[in-house]
Structure 1
Amino acid sequence: MKIEYASELDFQFILDNDKHISKNLIKRKLKEGEIIVVRNPDNQIIGWLRYGYFWDNIPFMNMLYINEAYRNKGIGKELVRFWEIEMKKKGYDLVMTSSLSNEQAQHFYRKLGYKDSGGLLLDNQALEIIFIKRIY
């Protein structure tokens, strides 16, 4: 398993698999180093993490995806830990993420030390739980 920042060579894979952001935003995030991928021994992408910034100054993990065949093997945990270490190197001591209250991800984040910090309720959607974590 290899975790690294995505490059422009990964653009088509991200475009084909991340349906939550536009083509132009993917290009910008690749250029800014805001997408991290995890590869299997055959160098195929098996997951990715995409982030941005809350209030323009707190790293916020917007997307974490691990291919189903590779789930429950600690890969997601390693990918999040890599991101946290990278954010600490950049001088941040707080990171954030969120999860819908009806998703299993909320339990995953709590196990990694993330604390409930609030919520966002949009029309006709489940509650979005906001999580924070101090990184040391």
Structure 2
Amino acid sequence: MIIEAAIMADYAYILERDKHLLQHLIESKIDAKEIYMLHSEEGNSFGWLRYGYFWDNTPFMNMLWIDDAFRGKGLGKQAVLFWEEDMKRKGFKLVMTSTLANEEAQHFYRKLGYKDAGCLLLENEPLEIILTKNIS
């Protein structure tokens, strides 16, 4: 797997699949290098990891997406570990993410060392679990 910062050529792939990010924000996230693309050795895209900053100072992974055909092969784990190492290189000691309480992703993140740090309850939504990990 090849992991690299998204470029404008990745825009259409992201736009088609990322239903959680407003279209006009995709370009600024690409420009800020806050989206990593996941590519096969042949260069085909099969996923991405998108992040931002909680409180403007703590890296927060907003989205990890792996196309169905590539799930269950450890690629998501590799992407998260790559992101954590990149954040560590940039001087961060703590990273965050979240997942809904009705999603299996919470178990994935806990296996990677993430700890429950709180929750958020929005009207008509399942509980959002906030997870943190010390990467220092």
What is the TM-score when the length of structure 1 is the normalising length? 0.98
Paired position in structure 1 for 2:17: 17
Structure 1: segments with no counterpart, 5+ residues: none
Distance (whole Å) between structure 2 residues aligned to residue 82 and residue 37 of structure 1: 11
Q: How does 1:9-88 map to 2 (within 5 A)?
A: 9-88=9-88
Q: Deviations over 1:36-81 (max 9, x none)?
A: 0110122111110000000000000000011111111110000000
Which residue of structure 1 lines up, in the alignment, with residue 130 of structure 2? 130
4+ runs of 1 displaced by more than 4 Å? none
Task: Give the fraction of aligned pairs with identical amino acids, expressed as a percent.
Answer: 57
Q: How far, CA to CA, are the matches of 1:107 and 1:118 in structure 2? A: 15
Distance of 1:67 and 1:21 partners within structure 2: 17
Cα displacement (A) at 1:16:
1.0
TM-superposed CA distance for 1:23, in Å, is 1.8
Instruction: Give the CA deviation at 1:118.
Output: 0.2
CA RMSD of the aligned region, Å?
0.7
Once residues 20 and 126 of structure 1 are traced to their aligned partners in structure 2, the CA distance between those partners, rounded to angstroms, is 16
Secondary structure of the equivalent of 2:12? helix
Write the letter of the residue equivalent to 1:98: S
In 1: Cα distance, 2:97 partner to 2:118 partner: 11
Measured in 1, the distance between the counterparts of 2:101 and 2:22 equals 25
Partner of 2:7: 7
Question: Quick check: 1:109 aligned with 2:109?
Answer: yes
Instruction: Give me the whole-angstrom Cα distance separating, in 2, the residues matched to 1:61 and 1:13.
Output: 19
